[in-house]
Chains A and B, each alone.
Chain A
């Protein structure tokens, strides 16, 4: 039994800064054309690492601005598309999911100290994932609630859920939610130490998948109550219906092999959103291309949707951008929002030999025009943390 939500919540802005393009439309066009944003690793100099591929954004940190902050602000500007928030600033909230965030600053400080140098102590002491959240709030003039979630790879999707929760409850008139991620040595070396990185371009759902590639970028989503969006004549991209969240309680890093917890997250989203499994047309999957994730996720989708799973399209943005960790859920949401808007599903690249375990329609190689009425977005994380977001097409009703 879940409590009723008095307000419908719609997506009225979407900003994307990715390795495929500096904005939403260039990124989306490239995705539909089947291009990927993966290339030789240049952001980091790690010659001893066997994998030298990543999805990189051609931007650099600015003075007193981390790369995450810079990308997040660019994505926000794109999402706002000229909108200047009006009304009570206390009813404007900012919700961010973070991954590496200020970690490059800490890395630089540690490196300096190991080299016997002073390093930038104040920068290191004050570096925090919330600096991105605060920067976005300052840009908006927002005085409402703000929070920064670090749930590893499900962070930004849960941030979207949090924003939905506040608007649906009538507490906010506007929220910005999303995430930003930049490459850093800790995560690159970390996933490499786990043997989770593919030295070639990643191949989600493939029989020969061998791991992930890492990526960077930012996605910011503007959410509003439907009545306010209508009143100001806003473009409505999609409706956000609900989210679900669960824990596996199975393993610190590996997903439950049968996708038990992930299925519960998807089922919770459907229950809260009041949709039947058959209403779902698209699953924007976590789809990391690691051997453990993709099979378990497909089983989870079957568990959650039952026979309706045979009719859904599944896609993985990791094949375009790599795994953007803290921002990954927001990237998956962006793909779903644009699929709902344009009625076309972006492809899973390099899916030439599907794994029999991944026996769903995983949209291999080419974009697919189809009816997309509702979409689930999945993001799973270390610690057995699962989040699923439910969106539906906006048809003006």
Chain B
């Protein structure tokens, strides 16, 4: 989809390296991995947790205790994104909320709560079942909490397309904006760590056991968590509000493989990149994570596109999951670039590629 008329005007980040754009820029600039031994409540092993996340002053304490981790992170990131776009988050409830759509991507949304709900149920039966936890067992819990938090009443969707769920969300948001069904869209990628996930991934030998993942090593990935929020609107609307876009969305493309082989997925990712049209990228954000299943999909791209710069791999700093592709899109916005290309391999479903143009850090 070509979308040069649509712009990202707000960015909000909750990441293992800290909250906000400055922390993310510093982390990615240094390519400093955020992995550490996790607290027992999140699982056994290493991962990139958002231990510094502070909801104080943003999420009221009464509401905070009702939220699962992905919803907390999404709320924090959305709050930042509205402010970054020059909007007062508190004012949306009064006016404008009906014309703001919400599109969320998540790989783990609902899963943390499902474990928290089911574990005591299996141990103690119905008296262990918490009616407060159950509503968060759905993947769209975060979008519902965002709607409540900010008074957003436009269309809403949550995608769960594994590593690329947030790109699917972005795609849908662009369609709603194009169709005139919303004036703005809040696109959010959000994920939270939880014990069962780590346990299953470790049992399946998917996790790097040397401490820090490395692309092409075949050792596996390490998980992360966090949220990224993007406010998207038409360039014209942004200009009329006097807001300078962080970037224009030049193109977004997805391709899927009919078969289930690695070669099929390699072809699909290459086709998604081709569908972007002419790319003169000065920055390349890649989605390889240390898991061979993803790394090998991106491996042929440097040969196919020799003029691209070397890729930057945010998942080596912030982990897999960690926004289900949102961390890649965010990374594309963290340094000035004429064009930033993003390649997003996935273990199933659609392979995505995106092209940002005129990436700017200047704010009005």
With A121-B199, A130-B160 given, name 6 new contacts (CB 8 A): A49-B126, A109-B196, A122-B203, A140-B258, A190-B137, A246-B155
Contact in complex: B256, A245 (CB < 8 Å):
no
At the interface, yes or no: B249 with Cβ under 8 Å from chain A?
no
Residues of B within 8 A of A110 (CB): 115, 118-119, 122, 196
**Within the complex, which residue of A114, A122, A185, A245 is in contact with B157, where a contact is CB–CB below 8 Å?**
A245
How distant is the Cα of A146 from the Cα of B256 in the complex, in angstroms? 7
**Least Cβ distance of B344 to chain A in Å?**
14
Contact in complex: B178, A138 (CB < 8 Å):
no
At the interface, yes or no: B180 with Cβ under 8 Å from chain A?
yes
Contact in complex: A1, B175 (CB < 8 Å):
no
At the interface, yes or no: B237 with Cβ under 8 Å from chain A?
no
At the interface, yes or no: B219 with Cβ under 8 Å from chain A?
no
Residues of A within 8 A of B143 (CB): 151, 247, 383, 385
**Within the complex, which residue of A106, A113, A251, A385 is in contact with B140, where a contact is CB–CB below 8 Å?**
A385
Contact in complex: B203, A186 (CB < 8 Å):
no
Contact in complex: B181, A109 (CB < 8 Å):
no
Given the contacts A130-B348, A149-B159, A251-B148, A194 and B134 also touching, CB distance less than 8 Å = yes
Contact in complex: A150, B148 (CB < 8 Å):
no
Per-position binary interface string of chain B over residues 221-255, scored 1 when its CB falls under 8 Å from any chain A CB and 0 otherwise: 00000000000000000000000000000000011
Contact in complex: A121, B140 (CB < 8 Å):
no
At the interface, yes or no: B152 with Cβ under 8 Å from chain A?
yes
Contact in complex: A158, B148 (CB < 8 Å):
no
At the interface, yes or no: A55 with Cβ under 8 Å from chain B?
no
Given the contacts A193-B130, A382-B135, A3 and B268 also touching, CB distance less than 8 Å = no
How distant is the Cα of A90 from the Cα of B253 in the complex, in angstroms? 12
Residues of A within 8 A of B180 (CB): 1-3
**Least Cβ distance of B205 to chain A in Å?**
8
Per-position binary interface string of chain B over residues 150-185, scored 1 when its CB falls under 8 Å from any chain A CB and 0 otherwise: 111111111111100000100110010011110000
Question: How many positions in chain B have a CB within 8 Å of any CB in the partner chain?
Answer: 77
At the interface, yes or no: B336 with Cβ under 8 Å from chain A?
no
Interface residues of A (CB under 8 A from B): 1-3, 48-49, 89-90, 98, 103, 106-107, 109-111, 113-114, 118-119, 121-122, 124-126, 128-131, 133-134, 137-138, 140-152, 158, 162, 165, 169, 185-187, 189-195, 244-253, 261, 264, 268, 272, 381-385
Residues of A within 8 A of B109 (CB): 150
Q: Which residue of A lies closest to B182 (CB)?
A: A245
**Within the complex, which residue of A190, A192, A249 is in contact with B153, where a contact is CB–CB below 8 Å?**
A249
Residues of B within 8 A of A268 (CB): 181
Contact in complex: B255, A143 (CB < 8 Å):
yes
Q: Which residue of A lies closest to B149 (CB)?
A: A249
Contact in complex: B129, A252 (CB < 8 Å):
no
Contact in complex: B160, A148 (CB < 8 Å):
yes
Contact in complex: A138, B260 (CB < 8 Å):
yes
At the interface, yes or no: B114 with Cβ under 8 Å from chain A?
yes
How distant is the Cα of A150 from the Cα of B108 in the complex, in angstroms? 11
A-B interface pairs (CB < 8 A), number: 231
**Least Cβ distance of B74 to chain A in Å?**
12
Residues of A within 8 A of B98 (CB): 246, 264
Residues of B within 8 A of A90 (CB): 255, 271
Pull 27 A–B residue pairs with CB atoms less than 8 Å apart, ordered by A. A89-B258, A109-B196, A128-B162, A134-B348, A142-B258, A143-B256, A146-B349, A148-B159, A150-B109, A150-B138, A165-B179, A169-B175, A186-B114, A186-B137, A189-B129, A191-B134, A193-B129, A193-B131, A245-B181, A249-B152, A251-B148, A252-B66, A252-B135, A264-B98, A382-B135, A385-B140, A385-B156
How distant is the Cα of A108 from the Cα of B200 in the complex, in angstroms? 12
Contact in complex: A98, B148 (CB < 8 Å):
no
At the interface, yes or no: B292 with Cβ under 8 Å from chain A?
no
Contact in complex: B162, A381 (CB < 8 Å):
no
How distant is the Cα of A126 from the Cα of B126 in the complex, in angstroms? 29
Residues of A within 8 A of B48 (CB): none
Per-position binary interface string of chain B over residues 113-134, scored 1 when its CB falls under 8 Å from any chain A CB and 0 otherwise: 0110111011101100111001
Residues of A within 8 A of B350 (CB): 145-147
Given the contacts A3-B178, A146-B349, A158-B157, A384 and B129 also touching, CB distance less than 8 Å = no
Contact in complex: B147, A190 (CB < 8 Å):
no
Contact in complex: A193, B126 (CB < 8 Å):
yes
Contact in complex: B156, A247 (CB < 8 Å):
yes
Interface residue ranges of B88-102 to A (CB < 8 Å): 93, 97-98, 102
**Least Cβ distance of A327 to chain B in Å?**
14
At the interface, yes or no: B36 with Cβ under 8 Å from chain A?
no
Residues of B within 8 A of A194 (CB): 131, 134-135
Contact in complex: A152, B203 (CB < 8 Å):
no
Residues of B within 8 A of A143 (CB): 255-258, 268
How distant is the Cα of A349 from the Cα of B141 in the complex, in angstroms? 32
How distant is the Cα of A114 from the Cα of B120 in the complex, in angstroms? 10
Q: Which residue of B lies closest to A121 (CB)?
A: B203
Q: Which residue of A lies closest to B131 (CB)?
A: A193
Contact in complex: B114, A106 (CB < 8 Å):
yes
Contact in complex: A3, B179 (CB < 8 Å):
yes
Residues of A within 8 A of B18 (CB): none
**Within the complex, which residue of A113, A142, A150, A245 is in contact with B160, where a contact is CB–CB below 8 Å?**
A150
How distant is the Cα of A381 from the Cα of B196 in the complex, in angstroms? 26
How distant is the Cα of A150 from the Cα of B103 in the complex, in angstroms? 11
Contact in complex: A151, B140 (CB < 8 Å):
yes
At the interface, yes or no: B20 with Cβ under 8 Å from chain A?
no
Given the contacts A48-B125, A114-B122, A122-B204, A248 and B153 also touching, CB distance less than 8 Å = yes
How distant is the Cα of A131 from the Cα of B162 in the complex, in angstroms? 10
At the interface, yes or no: B206 with Cβ under 8 Å from chain A?
yes
Give the interface centre of B102, B157, B203 by most chain A CB atoms within 10 Å.
B157
**Within the complex, which residue of A103, A129, A147 is in contact with B114, where a contact is CB–CB below 8 Å?**
A103
Can you list the 10 inter-chain pairs with the closest CB atoms, starting with the nearest?
Answer: A383-B144, A121-B203, A245-B155, A150-B139, A190-B134, A124-B200, A193-B129, A122-B204, A247-B147, A125-B204
How distant is the Cα of A249 from the Cα of B152 in the complex, in angstroms? 6
Given the contacts A110-B119, A192-B129, A148 and B161 also touching, CB distance less than 8 Å = yes
Given the contacts A143-B268, A152-B140, A249 and B258 also touching, CB distance less than 8 Å = no
How distant is the Cα of A253 from the Cα of B114 in the complex, in angstroms? 16
Contact in complex: B122, A111 (CB < 8 Å):
yes
Given the contacts A121-B204, A134-B260, A165-B175, A383 and B147 also touching, CB distance less than 8 Å = yes
Residues of B within 8 A of A133 (CB): 161, 349
Contact in complex: B349, A134 (CB < 8 Å):
yes
Residues of B within 8 A of A250 (CB): 148
